[in-house]
Chains A and B, each alone.
Chain A
Amino acid sequence: MSFYLFLTLLLLSSGCYYLGRRRAFTVAGDHVRNLHSLPSYYGAYTALWCGLPALLVFAAWTALQPSIILELVTNALPPELRTLPPGRLDLVLNDIKNLVNGNIVSSAPDPAILAAADHYRNLQLIGNAALWIAVMSLAIAGAAHAWRAISPKLRARNRVEQVVNLFLVISSTIAIFTTVGIILSVLFESILFFGKVPISDFLLGLQWSPQTALRADQAGSSGAFGAVPLFAGTLLISGIAMLVAVPIGLMSALYLSEYATPKFRATAKPALEVLAGIPTVVYGFFAALTVAPLLRDIGTALGLQVASESALAAGLVMGIMIIPFVSSLSDDVINAVPQSMRDGSYALGATKSETIKRVLLPAALPGIVGSILLAVSRAIGETMIVVMAAGLSANLTANPLQAVTTVTVQIVTLLTGDQEFDSAKTLAAFALGMVLFVVTLILNIIALHVVRKYREQYE
């Protein structure tokens, strides 16, 4: 129904585009140069006048119509139904809606409800007809207005660009407002959580056991919310990942940018970047099913106690995953060091390795640091690999051979499945998310700052 209206509106306004354009040619006579804007702008101007106001009314109408109809239907209900308590009334209204939409109804409908459903249906028909009429007449009126306004002096381009500009502004703010909304919701939920659990316990507590008791006599539900083991686990796994990713990534970046032939680089670089394209869940079962058992076997052979879900396995695989972040970005910044720096160094009789060590790396250092920080925030926020390979037990340990858990893993376990959304357990997820967000935000800000500083150096 509304889909056809939308389609009609679209067709109408694209028709208006051609009408407006032809009108522009007509008013210009033989001298298109006399027009203030190109003819296509007059077309776009007409199309916008036709489509935009009608579309806005359409959107507002569609948003409001159901609630207005519902209000009318409720008021027309017989008194004994209308005075039901709100919960029951909702059920009745639901039945009416289901009847209207032809869905299955909870019980055999009584005549009053059937009558109300008919009323609802009628109102809907009237509403839709009125919507068609309103939207179409608005579209035609808008098009007519634009049609009459078209003259060589009309600044159609400026008007159209204003509208486009507005669209751009709205699009960009959508992302910003979404971010702000997410931050606020996480913030408020965290505040709720900190109302239940003191913030000092959360940030400094050494015990993480988020099961709260439903009944007073329940066992095994200490409800301890000390996040230190989680942060320690995150730090341990990210640390192992960086130990893998930074040297390998940096050295491959150096090889690619300075030693490899252009042909090799052209194939090797995209191949390396494929690593970043592998879904993390695939890395996850690679870590859990291949690397972790391998490590355990090796550990047993050496007489070491290795947990079947170890921080080492998760960290190693995560390190592999973020190699392309380090190598690709570092390769770019090393390449961005001007050739004249290399020439200057070679001309003084420096060897390739001296040039790399003394000129390229120092010059590219800020960019490299930026890439590493980006990789760190990626490692901290990584979830899937650790869920699958690092385990759930919140051990406070620095031993990479034991199972640890991370902030992200705990958020996943706290929020998956059926949860009550007002318990400290679920709210804890928001508090963890908040901390995670703050940490990655700080890292990102530092990285951006460092990268910007780098940019200033050569421009």
Chain B
Amino acid sequence: MSTTPLEINTPLDGATTSSRASGNPLSSTQITDYDHRQTVGKITVDNPKMTCRGVNVYYGAKQALKNVSLDIGANEVIAFIGPSGCGKSTFLRCLNRMNDTIPGCRVAGEIRLDQEDIYDRSLDVVQLRARVGMVFQKPNPFPKSIYENVAYGPRIHGMVQNKAELDALVIASLERAGLLKEVEKRLEEPGTGLSGGQQQRLCIARAIAVNPEVILMDEPCSALDPIATAKIEELIDELRENYTIVIVTHSMQQAARVSQRTAYFHLGDLIEIGETDQIFTNPRHKLTEDYITGRFG
């Protein structure tokens, strides 16, 4: 991989860019050249949990993601936004190698979790996924009981010695996912019988039961009503204490509410990344501004 400059503010043929990095949120200068596709903003953080450098993803001959580099800080919530097909979900799925399950998908570049290359041959993808959990767009509880849904992960990873420990872990996970009060009395009922929002929180409980370090959320609220969405957002905020959370969302309000940093993707390029406040109040790339002001997307 070619070395990617950690901070890209190179002015391109007359395009005005801010002369400093993300230091000046009130900077009025903006990249107005729509063809400028190098990432604007500071991609590094002080205490990175994951570092991604020069990530390219191909579906067969089609390139879905072009040379994306960014850091994901420990215990932060980072939001990926962008119009449909921009590659944000693809990038998310690179982070726990879920793209491996898609035939014809090829990932190039370097992604490190705690300095460890997750695409290294010696790395066991099973262990990676235990450390990097995932919650999907559509709630997908297994057609098993609520209890069995949460117990699934701990069982396959042999995390508990006996039934009592498993019980405790299941209860604790449901509690942390804010679902315990609602399902306490019916742990043996099928998880598919819950409402959409409860199912999604069950999936979050299932993910945190294996005690991951990073949780990836792929539009976790897109199938939910506003009340269920509010509960999940609240939950994300609480989970930040213990986990690093990467969330893909179509809702800019949601990104603004839950995240500390935001990355804007456009047609496979990472266009801009920065503090969420700065992205939404003072975007430094015209594409970002167009998107967050609703001009397209």
The residues of A with any CB-CB pair to B shorter than 8 Å are: 261-262, 338, 340-351, 354, 358-359, 362-363, 457-458
Contacts and interface: CB of A to CB of B under 8 A. Distances in A.
A67 to B, nearest CB: 64
Contact of A344 (B128, B136, B210): B136
Contacts of B153: 348-350
Nearest to B138: A340
B129 A349 contact: yes
A349 B136 contact: no
22 contacts: A261-B103, A262-B103, A338-B140, A340-B136, A341-B142, A344-B142, A344-B203, A344-B206, A345-B142, A346-B98, A346-B101, A346-B129, A348-B130, A348-B133, A348-B152, A348-B210, A349-B126, A350-B153, A358-B155, A362-B144, A363-B143, A458-B143
| Chain A at the B interface: SS class | helix
Given A343-B134, A344-B142, A349-B130, 6 more contacts: A262-B103, A340-B136, A340-B138, A346-B98, A346-B101, A362-B143
Interface residues of B, number: 28
B210 A349 contact: yes
Contact of B206 (A261, A348, A457): A348
Contacts of A262: 103
B42 to A, nearest CB: 30
A261 B104 CA distance: 11
Interface string B199-240: 000010011001000000000000000000000000000000
A-B CB proximity, top 8 nearest: A349-B130, A347-B134, A340-B140, A349-B129, A348-B153, A344-B140, A349-B126, A354-B156
B101 A349 contact: no
B136 A347 contact: yes
Nearest to A339: B101
B198 interface: no
A341 B140 contact: yes
Contacts of B156: 348-351, 354, 358
A99 to B, nearest CB: 76
Contact of A347 (B96, B141, B155, B157): B96
Nearest to B192: A457
B136 to A, nearest CB: 6
Contacts of A363: 142-143
A347 B133 contact: yes
Nearest to B101: A346
B195 interface: no
A436 to B, nearest CB: 36
Contacts of A351: 126, 156
A345 B140 CA distance: 10
Interface in B82-137: 96, 98, 101, 103, 126-130, 133-134, 136
A352 B127 CA distance: 13
B129 A347 contact: yes
B94 to A, nearest CB: 13
Contacts of B203: 344
A367 B98 CA distance: 28
A458 B142 CA distance: 11
Most buried by A among B127, B144, B155, B156: B156
A446 B117 CA distance: 53
Given A343-B101, A358-B156, A457-B192, A348 B207 contact: yes
A445 B198 CA distance: 36
Contacts of A338: 140
Contacts of A346: 98, 101, 129
A350 B134 CA distance: 12
A116 B264 CA distance: 101
A363 B203 CA distance: 17
Contacts of B152: 345, 348, 350, 358
Contacts of B140: 338, 340-341, 343-344
A160 B206 CA distance: 58
Contacts of B101: 342-343, 346
A451 to B, nearest CB: 16
B97 to A, nearest CB: 9
Contacts of B136: 340, 343-344, 347
Contacts of A341: 140, 142-143
B220 to A, nearest CB: 13
A217 to B, nearest CB: 70
A8 B137 CA distance: 65
A349 B155 CA distance: 11
A232 B192 CA distance: 43
A350 B140 CA distance: 15
A457 B130 CA distance: 28
Contacts of A261: 103
Given A341-B140, A362-B143, A363-B143, A348 B129 contact: yes
A357 to B, nearest CB: 10
Contacts of B98: 343, 346-347
Contacts of B144: 362
Nearest to B135: A347
B158 to A, nearest CB: 11
Nearest to A355: B156
A27 B126 CA distance: 75
